[in-house]
Structure 1
Amino acid sequence: MNGLHVVLPGDIDDLSAPSGGNVYDRRLCDGLAATGVDVHEIAVRGNWPRPDNEARKVLARKLAELPAGSVVLLDGLVACGVPEVIVPAARRLSLAVLVHLPLADETGLSPSLAAELDRLERETLGAVEAVVATSDWAARRLVEHHDLAPHRVHVVPPGVDKAEVASGSLDGTHLVCVANVTPRKGQGLLADALKSLVDLPWSCECVGAIRRETRYVERLRRHTLGDRFTLTGPRSGEALEATYAAADLLVLPSRAETYGMVVTEALAHGIPVLATAVDALPDTLGRSPDGSVPGLLVPGEDVSALAKALRRWLTEPDLRDRLRASARLRRETLTGWDETARGVAAVLSSERTAA
């Protein structure tokens, strides 16, 4: 594969609204370019996955301008909601779609909207040559839910950068939740759980974009936890590294996750993780070489279970020591973004050869 066109959301490099999908896209494009692939980025602005007519026209025009037979990888957020654009393009281009999150899995959608997004996504994915999923769980979901041929759905997990082990604190009281502040990420559940732990010393930073779900953010700001529970907004680069360096425990109480990149980011710093046992999160947390789990898993949307797990972490030094040791072992098993780039390149090359 000599040349590749990659269709991306227009906000891919917007540091004020970071997302795991955008990070994956950026690191993938950079990684492929580093291996010698001629990468042509096509960033298309729009309210994806439900764009206006102008955004649809721009996407259709960009694809129509490509030479017949071109290899094109499209971010699923852009592609999956517009089969009227993708299906005709698939007749003349070699298309693959990278699905970060099935459209209907976003929290808070009405049943009718979720059903419509599901229908659009199924039509889109049925028309392209290959689908890339970020985890085994996500691949199984796409195959079963959209009745896709298993050989067309490929798993290429995100990578993670090597990092220094976090210094943290002896008493383990500094909690962080690194995720955009949205209902799907569950910060409200975390705040409710922490309300039952005011008798213990702790602080919690929620690090992530706060402009996407403004009503949800405003409700969170009305909590009664004072400055012990803060919404910091997004951080990147050195600021995010400093956040991890000072963290004792990553808490991710998500309602849905096809992978959960912040889990491996925390583990790369030797930080244990408390997460919900939903979707791909148990697999992403994984096990250390000695068979231990480098964190705690609780049922989704269970505030009581989340509170109990947090209390255990805060009051049991032996538990903290075990989980920290396990996280440091798990850290050694993580793979980098170069492997992700190689994996996607292999998928695209094999599909091109098959075509």
Structure 2
Amino acid sequence: MANSEPLTSVLFVVPGDPEQKTGGYRYVQRVVAGLRDNGVDAFVSGLCGSFPVPDRMAEASMNRLLAALADDSVVVLDGLAMGGLPDVIANHASRLRVVSLVHHALADETGLTQELQDWLFRVERRALSKVAGVITTSAHTAHRLKDYSVPATAIRVVEPGADTIAGIGAETQPSRAQGPTIHLLCVAHLSPRKAQHHLVEALSDLRDCSWHCTLAGSLDRDEHYAHELGGIIANLGLEHRISLLGELDDLELAGAYRNADVFVLPSVYEGYGMVIDEAIAAGLPVITTDGGALSTTGLRPGVRQYQAGDVAGLRACLEDWLTNPGALGEAATQVQQAARSLRSWQSTAIDFQRALEDLLPPPDPTTFDSDWLALREPADHLARNKRLLSEVLVWAEQDYCHPGVLSGHHAPPLLVVDLGTGTGSNARYLVPAMTVPQRWVLLDQDEHLLALAGERLQHLDVPLETHACHLNAKRLAGQIPDG
């Protein structure tokens, strides 16, 4: 059932520094900004430790953050952060309103051992079973989550947006590729899944063409791969034709798009592939694979696709545009058309808010008028089962004066927990009937009724505690005091 109450605040939780410049982190950054523009108090918090295979620091960081949140807080947990911590999520999901944001399943990362892949699948499936719903960035990932036993009714797809970058775009760049050298650009952190080595291999056979390739993306996320890639480039003698720039800030990235003629993403798997939209927004024809969600998100005018991992296919696409200015120019014209249909980040933020409100059940709105409760109380007391009452009284006497208590000593006062106490009708009925010493704990979600109960039960002269809390199947056991 859709939530009738609008979203007012939400906390996004990501691993590490929230300002990282990968697609997943940029998605969160832009959605948060859009939610704030819509009047929602949206924030991002980063976790310490290692992910997605969490160490003790990661587990402690997640547990500490969730424990500090008030009941019913709306929390969006990035799949990279929560996938390996199902037990921590389970400990807090019953009192929080938790949704997972999944870009792609953790087990679908490239280069994993079979043992690690199986472990990631098991723990992420358990973690996803603990949340109220899942938001994915593509229909491809939503379909994949069926394998994780996530019901279709608990999944919403909110695709990324793409804004024109630093004032450049297809319509302001109608005549790219006019110079003798074609400038190729790949924006992605260096990793086996992004497969920059395939691009380097394909270009090594196209030395006779006039091109320069820029690889922009973090060198630190997989330092071993980055080092190996640098060695491959050097061994092929392509240091002067392929530039490894590392991670760029916004201005530097805008300059890289501005100076490029063709965008290339050789990734073997993507949960969406945001950089494809960004490249189109910047007016760049695109060469990419059909890996993962790219099989559908890459089906745009001005985008050439080849089978993921097929270096020969990549080489053929590159050669066609490097040697055929007419084909590249036609692709550039098509990109102008595709850029007009890109969705904005503001639209993404609106859809994200709707998805949260749709997936998250509202806090239990059940309330009762105190005057109505007072009117019904006499009839309620008359309707009590007298036989059951007598059994309760016998049990209370036996429990208080049980044989295990030493002669001359009595047990502590009988602890009675009243669920959904309202204004305390149950206590007004039972306290005088039970002659043993008593201590009552009154639980209700309505703080106004609890306050009235405290006032109206003072004359009974028994110790009373009142606790405002939501009582549902998941939370009930945790609300009942020991003993």
Q: Report the TM-score range of the alignment, normalised by the length of the smaller protein.
A: over 0.9
Aligned residue among 152, 155, 172 for 1:153: 155
| Per-residue deviation, 1:41 | 3.0
> Within 1, Cα distance between the matches of 2:360 and 2:119?
31
**How many angstroms does 1:344 deviate by?**
1.2
- The structural deviation recorded for 1:259 is 0.7
Partner residue of 2:109?
A: 106
Match of 1:13 among 5, 19, 22: 19
Specify the alignment match of 2:230 in structure 1. Answer: 221
Query: Partner letter of residue 226 of structure 2?
Result: V
1:250 pairs with 2:273: no
Is 1:129–1:351's contact at 8 Å kept on the other side of the alignment?
yes
Equivalent in the alignment of 2:468: none
Name the residue aligned to 1:284: 297
Distance 1:216 1:58, change over 3 A: closer
Please state if 1:169 is matched with 2:182.
no
| Higher RCO structure, 1 or 2 (CA under 8 Å, sep 6+) | 1
| Residue 240 of structure 1 pairs with residue 253 of structure 2 | yes
Kept in 2: contact 1:169–1:246 (CA 8 A): no
Is 1:141 matched up with 2:144? yes
Q: Name the counterpart of 1:336.
A: 344
- Distance apart, 1:295 and its partner CA: 1.6
Shift of 1:147: 2.1
Q: Is residue 209–residue 234 contact of structure 1 (8 Å, CA) maintained in 2?
A: yes
SS of residue paired to 1:218: helix
1:79 matched to 2:82? The reply is: yes
Structure 1 residue 120: Cα displacement: 0.7
**For 1:318, which of 314, 326, 336 is the aligned residue?**
326
Percent of aligned pairs with the same amino acid? 36
Following superposition, the deviation at residue 101 of structure 1 comes to 2.2
1:106-131, Cα deviation, whole Å (9 max, x unpaired): 11111100110111110011111110
Residue type at the aligned position of 2:17: D
Distance 1:221 1:89 in 2: 44
On the 8 A contact 2:31/2:348 being kept in 1, the answer is yes
Distance in 2 separating the partners of 1:49 and 1:25: 17
| Cross-structure match for 2:358 | 350
Amino acid at match of 1:32: L
Q: 1:58 aligns with which of 58, 61, 69?
A: 61
How far, CA to CA, are the matches of 1:81 and 1:45 in structure 2?
14
TM-score, normalised relative to structure 2: 0.69
Question: Once the 2 structures are TM-superposed, how far is the Cα of residue 202 of structure 1 from its aligned partner?
Answer: 0.7
Alpha-carbon distance in 2 for matches of 1:219, 1:133: 33
Distance (whole Å) between structure 1 residues aligned to residue 115 and residue 254 of structure 2: 41
Cα distance between partner residues in 2 of 1:276 and 1:40: 34
The alignment covers a number of residue pairs equal to: 346
Who is 1:210 aligned against? 219
Alignment correspondent of 2:243: 230
Bigger radius of gyration among the two = 2
Deviations 1:176-234 (A, max 9, x none): 11110111001000011011101111110000001122221122112212310121111
Aligned-residue RMSD, C-alpha: 1.5
Stretches of 4+ aligned residues off by more than 4 angstroms:
none
- Preserved contact between residue 172 and residue 248 of structure 1 (Cα < 8 Å): no
Name whichever of 65-74 and 296-305 sits farther off. Answer: 65-74
Q: Which amino acid aligns with 1:13?
A: E
1:301-332 alpha-carbon deviations (Å, 9 max, x no partner): 11111111110011112211111111110000
> C-alpha distance in 2, partners of 1:350/1:178?
34
Q: In the aligned structure 2, how far is the partner of 1:256 from the partner of 1:245?
A: 26
Residue aligning to 2:368? none
In structure 2, C-alpha distance between the alignment counterparts of 1:296 and 1:321, rounded to whole Å? 13
- What CA distance in whole angstroms lies between the structure 2 residues aligned with 1:188 and 1:147? 35
Identify unmatched segments of 5+ residues in structure 1.
288-292
Distance 1:85 1:313 in 2: 51
Provide the residue aligned with 1:188 in structure 2.
197
CA distance in 1, matches of 2:296, 2:265: 14
Match of 2:10 in 1: 4
Q: Is the 8 A contact 1:162 1:336 kept in 2?
A: no
In the alignment, the residues of structure 1 paired with residue 19 and residue 324 of structure 2 have an alpha-carbon distance, to the nearest angstrom, of 41
The amino acid of 1:238's aligned partner reads L
Distance 2:86 2:331 in 1: 46
Contact 2:290 2:298 in 1 (8 A): no
Contact 2:18 2:44 in 1 (8 A): no
- Whole-Å Cα distance in 2 between the matches of residues 124 and 44 of structure 1? 17
Structure 2: distance between partners of 1:161 and 1:212:
26
User: Partners of 2:177 and 2:257 in 1: how far apart?
Assistant: 12
1:299 equivalent in structure 2: 307
Deviations 1:95-153 (A, max 9, x none): 1000122111111111100110111110011111110100111111112x212111111
